[in-house]
């Protein structure tokens, strides 16, 4: 029995939930299209290039939580999960999760996308443990700020180490599945790093490191292995 860790966006789902949530807000007229959409695209491109200013992005992405009451936000989120997220859930991802469950592994999702957006998605896959960027909630309202360390790049490693202090789990035999070169700090930490439908930078690193490269997209070849 080991710890099996999963990234979420473009790993367990076939797109980026953070970006899609922003576009959902635009499409619903909840935010100003002219301002918000271009910024959302810019931040997403920065993320893909590895140049994202995570604090600047979080101030941008969490502001709509502060600008609306929680009851309305939850209604919008239900619609978002139903209409946008459910169609991009991946059966091969669920099969992989089930495989680890059947082995008795402990499952954990670690994602930079904030907990408000990701918690219901992770629940759909039947995973109980989630480390995500935490929006601040005070006096029955989101503030637009975040708590603690952003769960991004080295921050994922720091938050995992804090989580392990309060857990019986260890890193012995651990797995981590991710699509992004932004996750190299954590991929380098685990015993079994796996690149999943990886971006160009991660593909090159995985090949050089003889890491397994797999696809969870049903329209792609299932597995590409590079053995040591």
Distance between CA 61 and CA 36 in Å, rounded? Answer: 9
Two structure tokens written together for 74: 């939850």
Outline where the chain has alpha helix (H): 17-27, 33-49, 54-67, 70-80, 91-102, 115-124, 154-165, 184-187, 200-209
Tell me whether residue 7 is one of the annotated catalytic residues: yes
CB 1 within 8 A of CB 105: yes
- Of 9, 18, 105, 197, the active-site residue reads 9
223-224 β-sheet, strand order: 129-132, 106-111, 3-6, 175-178, 192-196, 213-214, 223-224
CB atoms within 10 A of CB 209: 14
Distance between CA 1 and CA 106 in Å, rounded? Answer: 7
- Of 7, 179, 183, 197, the active-site residue reads 7
Distance between CA 150 and CA 114 in Å, rounded? Answer: 9
Tell me whether residue 9 is one of the annotated catalytic residues: yes
Three-state SS at 53? coil
Two structure tokens written together for 21: 């949530």
DSSP-derived secondary structure letter, 105: P
Residues marked active site are found at 7, 9
């Amino acid at each position: 029995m080991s710890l099996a860790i999963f990234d979420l966006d473009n790993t367990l789902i076939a797109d980026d939930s953070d970006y899609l949530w922003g576009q959902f807000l635009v499409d619903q007229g909840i935010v100003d299209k002219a301002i918000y959409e271009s910024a959302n695209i810019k931040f997403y491109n920065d993320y893909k290039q590895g140049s994202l200013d995570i604090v600047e992005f979080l101030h941008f992405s969490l502001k709509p939580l502060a600008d609306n009451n929680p009851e309305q936000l939850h209604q919008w989120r239900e619609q978002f999960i139903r209409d946008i997220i459910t169609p991009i859930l991946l059966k091969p991802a669920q099969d992989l999760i089930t495989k680890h469950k059947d082995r008795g592994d402990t499952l954990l999702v670690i994602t930079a996308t904030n907990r408000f957006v990701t918690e219901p998605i992770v629940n759909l896959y039947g995973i109980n443990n989630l480390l995500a960027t935490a929006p601040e909630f005070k006096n029955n309202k989101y503030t637009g700020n975040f708590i603690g360390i952003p769960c991004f790049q080295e921050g994922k490693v720091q938050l995992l180490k804090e989580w392990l202090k309060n857990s019986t789990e260890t890193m012995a035999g651990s797995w981590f599945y991710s699509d992004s070169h932004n996750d190299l700090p954590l991929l380098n930490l685990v015993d079994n790093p796996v690149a999943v439908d990886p971006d160009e930078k991660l593909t090159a690193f995985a090949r050089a490191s003889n890491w397994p490269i797999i696809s969870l997209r049903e329209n792609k070849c299932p597995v590409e292995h590079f053995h040591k």
